[in-house]
Structure 1
């Protein structure tokens, strides 16, 4: 849990920093685009930290399989954060920088991280079922 938090904090700082930079400059009128871009960069950092630090002992899939599962998991996490931002910004009309940060970078990231943790732990960085079964059979023999 500690290394997950460390990796998550680094990715979060990149996400929030880049989101605010983009929102204050080139993507000022496009908060969803800014969020997608910031999450894409933060996801790369999260992938490296998760693969080589947090879940280094529980990896069992090929790099390609883990990458696909990681990307899909992060797309769902992004959808959660962008959904919170969309509802706040466009449906509720809270369109200030502070409101965008609260909805996208606090509530959205929090909910997305809860989903990501369980997905990483139980789906992405785990051995496939057939490999675990083979290991158990060898131990029983």
Structure 2
């Protein structure tokens, strides 16, 4: 149970750092840099994803063995799916249910949408990027380090991310 709490805390810390990078860069690009909103958001999204990936790879899931660009690409895809969930919650509330006030938009997009997107991002990061999916497979020379039972990932060492499950 302590390992799961540490994993959640590490994931949350990486997410907060990513949010700060995203917001800070977006604010700078829209303000002093004079970038248009879509360009600013696209660049800040990539920066936020990069900060979150680095935080998870070097912190929360540092004991996993991921190599190459595939894990990062999966991480970005998981984050894009999370963004789509937030937009979908907002669209359903605003256009489908007719809840058009600013408060309703905030609750559906930044409240409910963010909560559901965070669950999706946690699951995707843990399972697809740093878990027992293809991206988390060790290199050929390390195959003996993996357990024989399919679907089980053993983390090396102790500390954050040292769970077996």
- Please tell me the TM-score bracket, short chain as reference: 0.5 to 0.7
Change (3 A) 1:87 1:15: farther
C-alpha contact 1:16 1:105 (8 A) present in aligned 2: no
Larger helix share, 1 or 2: 1
> In structure 1, what is the equivalent of residue 18 of structure 2?
11
C-alpha contact 1:15 1:41 (8 A) present in aligned 2: yes
> In structure 1, what is the equivalent of residue 68 of structure 2?
63
User: Does structure 1 residue 111 correspond to structure 2 residue 111?
Assistant: no
- Matched residues, number: 127
Give the gaps of 5 or more residues in structure 2. Answer: 1-7, 31-35, 148-165
Q: Once the 2 structures are TM-superposed, how far is the Cα of residue 44 of structure 1 from its aligned partner? A: 3.4
Q: Once the 2 structures are TM-superposed, how far is the Cα of residue 115 of structure 1 from its aligned partner? A: 1.5
Secondary structure of the corresponding residue to residue 56 of structure 1:
coil
TM-score (norm 2): 0.59
Q: Once the 2 structures are TM-superposed, how far is the Cα of residue 77 of structure 1 from its aligned partner? A: 1.1
Q: Once the 2 structures are TM-superposed, how far is the Cα of residue 64 of structure 1 from its aligned partner? A: 0.3
Q: 2-side partners of 1:96 and 1:16: how far apart?
A: 24
Change (3 A) 1:6 1:136: closer
Give the gaps of 5 or more residues in structure 1. Answer: 28-32
> In structure 1, what is the equivalent of residue 50 of structure 2?
44
> In structure 1, what is the equivalent of residue 59 of structure 2?
53
Q: What are the superposed Cα offsets for residues 12-41 of structure 1, whole Å, 9 maximum, x if unpaired?
A: 46667869xx8xxx87xxxxx7xx757555
Q: 2-side partners of 1:56 and 1:93: how far apart?
A: 45
RMSD, aligned α-carbons = 3.5
Q: Once the 2 structures are TM-superposed, how far is the Cα of residue 122 of structure 1 from its aligned partner? A: 1.8
Q: 2-side partners of 1:68 and 1:124: how far apart?
A: 9
TM-score (norm 1): 0.67
